[in-house]
Structure 1
């Protein structure tokens, strides 16, 4: 009887990262080739910015960002309506025992980065940062 291979936590997390990156590539390819037969999805250029997998590789959350000002909510809704097709295609191309269940969410990391950058450009914050630099230079 074959013994189940034991993975260390580090090997397991590397595997999760590799599979999530592979899923991201597959989804990006499907969207770039316009293989999803949906008007909203086909009309938008959609970037899959990140895929996060659960440790058991059964669930994946894909973070997407429509480019060129497409309506994010409409695109995410259209992707959710086409989840079954996308899961089937990912399962075929991934070749794992279990295909991950896909969820789609809009990627808000760019908006958060813009918000933080705007805060750092605020004159009050810049003044405080300059004071901290001067205090560090005196020591």
Structure 2
């Protein structure tokens, strides 16, 4: 995925993980119900796969992908246009002191998995794997 918003290089805290998951659920439910009054956004089915939150909980990066993977840039643009309304909904649902700034990134996990599958299916890689001695 993209750069980790946790710049210290440490693993995210339990609080970051919990808040990230709550934001992910809230975003998913909001998009599924069509609570945002943007025809471009309501016409898309968007998956929110993960939300990473900064250590100070002020920035949340949501990794999103439209169903089927087509129109990712359009979905990202529509989400960015409506980020203030989404931020208000998240702040209301989470009931935390400061509602985090929401950033949207296209989730490229499936593309990377496909690329890895293609690499392992390559004839040269298969040959190298077959020729590798087994460690018993």
* Fold similarity call, TM over 0.5: yes
Runs of 4+ in 1 over 6 A off after TM superposition: none
Q: Distance in 2 between matches of 1:89 and 1:127?
A: 53
Where structure 2 has 5 or more consecutive residues not aligned to the other structure, the ranges are: 1-9
Q: Distance in 2 between matches of 1:36 and 1:68?
A: 21
Q: Distance in 2 between matches of 1:109 and 1:68?
A: 13
Q: Distance in 1 between matches of 2:19 and 2:66?
A: 23
Query: Highest relative contact order (Cα 8 Å, sep 6+), 1 or 2?
Result: 2
Where structure 1 has 5 or more consecutive residues not aligned to the other structure, the ranges are: 1-8
- State TM-score, norm by structure 1: 0.86
SS in 2 for 1:36: coil
The equivalent residue for 1:128 is 128
- State TM-score, norm by structure 2: 0.88
Q: CA RMSD in A?
A: 1.7
The equivalent residue for 1:65 is 65
Which has the greater radius of gyration?
Answer: 1
Aligned residue pairs total 127
SS in 1 for 2:50: strand
